[in-house]
A and B are shown apart, each in its own frame.
Chain A
Amino acid sequence: MISESPGERAADTGEPFAAAEPSWWRRNRWSVLALAVLLPGTVIVTTSSEWFDYQNRLYSHAVTVPDGESAVYGGAEFRVHDTVLVRGGTEGGDELELDPDMDLIVAVLDVTPGKGSVDSCDLTISATSPGHPEKRAWNANVDLPRKFPPTGDAQTTCSDSQGEPYRLVVAATIPGGAAESKSWVHIEKLGLAPDYLELELSPSAVSSASTSSDMSSSATSAARRDDLRQKSNATASRLMRTGSTSKSITNPMG
């Protein structure tokens, strides 16, 4: 059986009312206070590790730099000097023994070390195409064509270079046509993650050229396949002739 509350019982018995009963909040204030501290604390303790892992994986701090402009990352200044695309199945690709179904993309960067030098880094090239609008990435400077020429004095990873400016070669073999839309060089140093540098490779520069005038005109003719094939051949020939990627690419006048 359910009875009345104690207060009502007091009234029924004719006994004088006791002092007003404290409110529920006042009676349970310590329990509520403990819950207010323990509940958020439990959530924080149980999820903090995953949250930091998520943040470290989340590349939300990209420094994206348009082609031709420079950016400082880890104390060093990076700028894209030139970009070359050699298509497989062309004379130039055959010279390098590039698979006919693949392209070779080579970016040459100017690097000026600063106080906080970047002495090693992970290099990747990413790209999009009409068939793959989502960004895809390939490790740089591995799995290159068998006859990819030596890079001479240019570096293939970040270097402190004793404080002297240097050229950094970033090359990757990618599926044919994978960089038809846009492409980027990513530079990431372990200690600076999740910050990383994203240097845009201009689509006009991707078509490559053997002369400066060709380079400027390529902006309007990059989509023409024959034009690209001719430029790929010329670029590969220069690579083979000089035996130095950096020299051949950084001196477009040949």
Chain B
Amino acid sequence: MISGRRVTRRGALSALTVVVALAATVVVYGVTPHGDDINVPFNVRGGIGDVLTGRTLTGAVTSVRLASSIDATAADSDWSGETTGTWVVVDAEIAARFEPSSLYRPTLTIGDTTYYASERLSLVTLDDGTVRPGIASVGVILFEVSDDKLRSAEAAKAEIGINASFESILDSRLVTQVDLTSLPVESDVAVSRPEEKVL
């Protein structure tokens, strides 16, 4: 049953205030980052050969190769990198901008799947060392990827992400887009230890 109580001016004002406050809450929630967005890095995007510069790192992915096996004899290792998938061998030149840093878990993202750089070939890949200001480290980053993912259409727009140690949250990340679908799979791709190159 509906009572015959009349709405007072004060009651109407209170109701209006609540509605406005709720509406403001919805607007603020909609325009501000939440969930995972709060901690995502600021991506600096480019293609192969583009020199990308973020807050902490600068550098470029110079080439990408696919390999069924690795020849690491130039790095004093007889490791051949046996895998049930395929190696994505990323050649890169990376330097720090202001203070020494290291690459914290470079990523290869294909569609909604993200691969972290392999740690199987220790002390040879770029992510095992420290990069310095003005002195680029030239070397490789290895990713071990499933064949199914490489054959997917999403591999045409794969993204290599490189960021500094422990600072990927709310820091810049160098993102290079690559097409992995048109690359031949080579055997015994030679890799060596990182070399230095003054910028």
By a beta-carbon cutoff of 8 Å, the part of chain A in contact with chain B is 1-5, 99, 101-102, 124, 132, 134-139, 143, 173-176, 178
* Interface majority SS (helix, strand, loop, mixed), chain B: mixed
Q: How far is the CB of A66 from chain B (nearest CB, A)?
A: 23
Q: How far is the CB of B71 from chain A (nearest CB, A)?
A: 26
The residues of B that contact A101 with a CB separation of less than 8 Å are 198
Binds A, one of B22-30, B44-52, B126-134, B183-191: B126-134
- Tell yes or no: B147 within 8 A of A by CB: no
Are A134 and B198 in contact, with the CB atoms below 8 A?
Answer: no
Q: How far is the CB of A145 from chain B (nearest CB, A)?
A: 12
B9: A residues at CB distance < 8 A: 2-5
Verify A3–B98 contact, CB threshold 8 A: no
**Complex Cα gap A124–B132 (Å):** 12
Q: Is B1 an interface residue (CB 8 A)?
A: no
Interface extent on B, as a size class?
10 to 19
Closest chain-B Cβ to A21's Cβ sits at a distance in Å of 12
User: Which B residues have a C-beta under 8 Å from some C-beta of A?
Assistant: 6-10, 12, 97-100, 130, 132-135, 196, 198-199
Contact A5 B10 (CB under 8 A): yes
The answer to whether A175 touches B198 (Cβ under 8 A) is yes
Given A99-B198, A175-B199, A2 and B8 touching (CB < 8 A)? yes
Nearest A residue to B133, CB-CB: A136
Contact partners of B7 in chain A: CB under 8 A: 1-3
Look across to chain A and name the residue whose beta carbon is closest to the beta carbon of B130.
A139
Are A138 and B6 in contact (CB-based, < 8 A)? no
User: Which residues of A lie under 8 Å from residue B132 when comparing CB positions?
Assistant: 138-139, 143
C-alpha gap A138/B99 in the complex (Å): 6
Given contacts A99-B196, A138-B133, A175-B199, contact A3 B100 (CB under 8 A): no
Which A-chain residue is minimally distant from B95 (CB atoms)? A175
- Beyond contacts A1-B7, A3-B9: 6 other A-B pairs, Cβ-Cβ < 8 A, are A2-B6, A2-B12, A132-B134, A137-B99, A138-B100, A178-B134
Residue numbers in B under 8 Å from A136 (CB-CB): 97-99, 133-134
Q: How far is the CA of A143 from the CA of B195 in the complex (A)?
A: 12
Question: Chain B nearest CB: distance from A31 CB in Å?
Answer: 14
Taking a contact as CB atoms under 8 Å apart, the answer to whether A134 and B134 are in contact is no
Q: How far is the CA of A220 from the CA of B97 in the complex (A)?
A: 31
